[in-house]
Amino acid sequence: EIPETGRPFPPSGWSTHPVLTLEEAYRVAVRDSHIPPPPFPPRRAVLMEQLTAIQEQVRRLEKNCTDVEQEVCSIVEGALRSLMTEGERRVDFLLGDQLEIQRQLEEIEHIEIAFDVVTADSSPEEYLESWLSQ
């Protein structure tokens, strides 16, 4: 019989090769073409080494950032303590000045009151005499 294509079917004895699985056929084709298999395992190892190196760099960088942050915080805390101490010292100094000024104002007020009392109760001659006797 001749099919519609015009060519006769090959006799059943012509097929002499064994039936291969797709995987076996691929390996045979690669072997026969002298093309080496893809270098995935070595490339994978290189990529894994690079990934490990990057992860280690990230870990070291994060640790360095943490260490620097702690050091900066320590320096800032020390500076703030010094600032607070110096600020308190200056406030104490100003409070001392304030107390001295208040004392002097009260002293002037007492002198004025005493002067008013003395001048109200005595004549100018008596006042001058009492002032010179002190």
Give the C-alpha separation, 26 to 29, whole Å: 5
d(CA 105, CA 113): 12
DSSP assigned state of 122: S
User: pLDDT, tens digit, for every residue of 78-92?
Assistant: 999 999 999 999 999
Q: Would you place residue 120 in the very low, low, confident or very high pLDDT band (cuts 50, 70, 90)?
A: confident
Task: Return mean pLDDT, the chain.
Answer: 84
Domain residue ranges of the chain, discontinuous segments joined by +: 40-133
**pLDDT, position 14:** 56
What integer pLDDT is reported at residue 2 of this predicted model?
A: 47
Two tokens at 26?
């691929």
With cut-offs at 50, 70 and 90, classify the pLDDT of residue 53: very high
Q: pLDDT band for 59, please (50, 70, 90 cuts).
A: very high
Q: What is the DSSP letter of 19?
A: P
**C-alpha radius of gyration, the chain, whole number:** 54
Place of tokens 């690669």: 30
Site of tokens 């009260």: 106
